[in-house]
Amino acid sequence: MATMYYDVCIYGKKAVDAATKILNGRCYADFMGGQIEIVSDDFIVISYIETLERAHQIIACIPEFSGCEYSINDTVQVDECNARSKEIENGILPVPYPVDDPAPEAPAPAMHEYHLTVGLFDKDTEKQEITEHAAHNILADILINRHGLYAYTAINCSGVYTMQTTGHVVREPSIRIEIVTDSVIDISAIVADIKSALNQETVMIKHAVSEIDFI
């Protein structure tokens, strides 16, 4: 009974060198669902591949052979000694990047992003006791002089907050601070200083690790 299979033939010294490492002194070896062997000093074959789809998968998954010429043969084993083979496809295995093109740029580095939202209503009087300008100066002193943060953004905004002690809902002016660093910072210590200096019940914190770049 005839048996049908596919052979992937790969040409060139690069292919032979890669196959030599795979074989490690053997004449042939099982390889990715087929059998690999060196036929000549510029030609190797991966044979007995059951499906054409599998043959294409092997081609796509062998970076050592990228750039080499190849062909796929449709082979019918008639009996133990006789087989008929027909070339059904040929080409050049793709390389990861064209030699004239640069590799893609590396992704932006992962950095730690902190957002702090600080209300300006005093927790005891439930009203604004200091100006926004004064609050910015206090926050700058805490971030720069006490904690050594020399890069941040502070934005005026407004928010709605329910006081924990009285349950009163207040609409208050606020300041949002954005901090980006390449390492984890002691955000709890920073928030403790802000709460003490501005007499706040809470400060809202958001922490995320993001890909951030400066261009």
Residues 116 and 206 in one domain: yes
Residue 80 counted as domain residue:
yes
Domain finish residue from 92, 126, 156? 92
Q: Is residue 102 part of a domain?
A: no
- Final residue in a domain of this structure, among 92, 124, 155: 92
Both tokens assigned to 135: 């609050």
Contact 81, 98 (CB under 8 A): no
Residues with Cβ within 8 Å of 69's Cβ and at least 6 positions away in sequence, in order, are 10, 11, 12, 90, 91, 92, 93
Q: Over its length of 215 residues, how does the chain's per-residue pLDDT go in tens digits?
A: 556 788 888 888 888 888 888 888 888 888 777 888 998 888 888 888 888 887 777 766 666 777 788 888 887 654 444 545 566 666 665 554 444 555 556 666 778 999 999 999 999 999 999 999 999 999 999 999 999 998 899 999 999 999 998 999 999 999 999 999 888 899 999 999 999 999 999 999 999 988 887 77
Q: Which of the listed residues 34, 63, 92 is the one where a domain comes to its end? A: 92
Residue 66 lies in a domain: yes
How many whole angstroms separate alpha carbon 136 and alpha carbon 187?
18
If one counts the domains in the chain, the total is: 2
Report yes or no on 58 lying in a domain.
yes
CA distance 199 to 119: 10
Q: Are residues 140 and 201 in the same domain?
A: yes
Specify whether 204 is located in the same domain as 114: yes
| 152-162, strands of its sheet edge to edge | 152-162, 169-181, 110-119, 204-211
115 shares a domain with 86: no
CB atoms within 10 A of CB 135: 23
What is the C-alpha separation between 69 and 171, in angstroms, rounded? Answer: 71
Range of the domain at 120: 110-211
